Structure 1
Amino acid sequence: MSLFENREDAARQLSKALSTYMGMQPLVLAIPRGGVPLGRIIADDLGGELDVVLVRKLGAPFNPEFAVGAIGESGKIFVADYALKAGADTAYLAAEVDKQLATIRRRRAQYAAVAPPVSARGRTVIIVDDGLATGATMCSALAEIRSCQPDQLICAAPVASAEAAARVRRECDRFVCLSVAADFQGVGQFYRDFAQVSDEEAVALLGRS
């Protein structure tokens, strides 16, 4: 059964859960691409500023949607403890890292053309994604931004698996999640409409301040 009509519905509900940050001019960092529509709405609702945090999942061999780790823009790599069991040996991970870093660099060039990167130092930062399956990408994003010395670091997601929630809670100052699901097959199962977000849509949303 779907919890959310679409990303806009999820974002509106998440904004209410984050209302304590209204008036604090939070920096909302969305994880592209699926997190960007949520980030735009949440930043607008809270009177905050929107930017992206560029991280990419390291997909498992033969199952790229299953994250065995993640990498951030700075080159910080998070590798899950189950990666080798999933078939991701050292050589595979090295190739996957190169592939995902290339995507990160391409996206930074696209996004910087409409919105220069915003510093997280000393800010109340809310990192947003449309859902957390393994938590690997969010953990990587939190590590990236923690090194920038924010004042507060909040993770926000409409839905998460129990495993992802447990993993992510340890990496942030506050974890805001509308539903932690025990029976978790994929993020899309919790949305009636889970259409893919294109690069063009993400760029347009980011540039609309």
Structure 2
Amino acid sequence: MFTDRIDAGFALAEKLKKYARMEGVILAVPRGGIPIGYVVAKRTGLSLDLLMTKKIGHPQNREYAIGAVSLTDSFLLPHIGVSSAYIKAETEQIRKRLKEMRLKFMGTAEPLAAERQDCDRRR
């Protein structure tokens, strides 16, 4: 479908051109999303920032996600036999890697402020 991520970025930027020069932020997920996000940000004139998250894998199968960790928060699904010590150690290790990646890709730049908008759950 696309020759590479840069090509995908150009295609996505074309779809998002109506947002050019508006207020907003392009959030990219390292590592694969950065080339796409960079092209979209350049083509739309929007700022680029990184969405720093990683999954927590189950101790018996690391590919099976039991939750996710960001630099400031986490979400976990309860699983029998997964100790709080494992969760704590994994969370610390993941946050360390996320901080290293943020520094590698963004240097010392502070994260851009993105307002959190909670979903309206009323029906």
TM-score band, normalised by the shorter chain? 0.7 to 0.9
Question: For residues 62 and 8 of structure 2, what CA distance do their matches in structure 1 show?
Answer: 25
Give the residue type in structure 1 aligned to 2:76: V
Question: For residues 63 and 106 of structure 1, what CA distance do their matches in structure 2 show?
Answer: 25
Give the residue type in structure 2 aligned to 1:100: I
Measured at CA, do residues 89 and 20 of structure 1 come closer, stay the same or move farther in structure 2, by a change above 3 Å?
farther
Q: Percent identity?
A: 33
CA RMSD of aligned residues (A): 2.8
The counterpart of 2:35, out of the listed 24, 34, 37, is: 37
The answer on whether the counterparts of 1:26 and 1:43 sit within 8 Å (CA) in structure 2 is no
For the pair shown, which has the larger CA radius of gyration, 1 or 2? Answer: 2
CA displacement, residues 134-169 of structure 1 (integer Å, 9 cap, x when unaligned): xxxxxxxxxxxx2xx6xxx9xxxxxxxxxxxxxxxx
Match runs of 1:12-27 below 5 Å: 12-27=10-25
The counterpart of 1:77, out of the listed 71, 74, 91, is: 74
Match runs of 1:133-148 below 5 Å: 146=116
- 1:50 paired residue number: 48
Give the residue type in structure 2 aligned to 1:17: K
The answer on whether the counterparts of 2:50 and 2:102 sit within 8 Å (CA) in structure 1 is no
Q: Give the aligned length.
A: 120
Question: For residues 91 and 50 of structure 1, what CA distance do their matches in structure 2 show?
Answer: 35
Q: How far does residue 21 in structure 1 lie from its aligned partner after superposition?
A: 1.2
The answer on whether the counterparts of 1:25 and 1:46 sit within 8 Å (CA) in structure 2 is no
2:58 pairs with 1:60: yes
TM-score by length of 2: 0.75
Q: How far does residue 69 in structure 1 lie from its aligned partner after superposition?
A: 1.1
- List gaps (5 residues or longer) in structure 1: 122-145, 154-169, 172-209
Question: For residues 108 and 6 of structure 1, what CA distance do their matches in structure 2 show?
Answer: 23
Q: What SS does the corresponding residue of 2:114 show, helix, strand or coil?
A: coil
Q: How far does residue 25 in structure 1 lie from its aligned partner after superposition?
A: 4.2
Give the residue type in structure 2 aligned to 1:104: L
**Highest RCO, 1 vs 2 (Cα 8 Å, sep ≥ 6):** 1
- 1:167 paired residue number: none
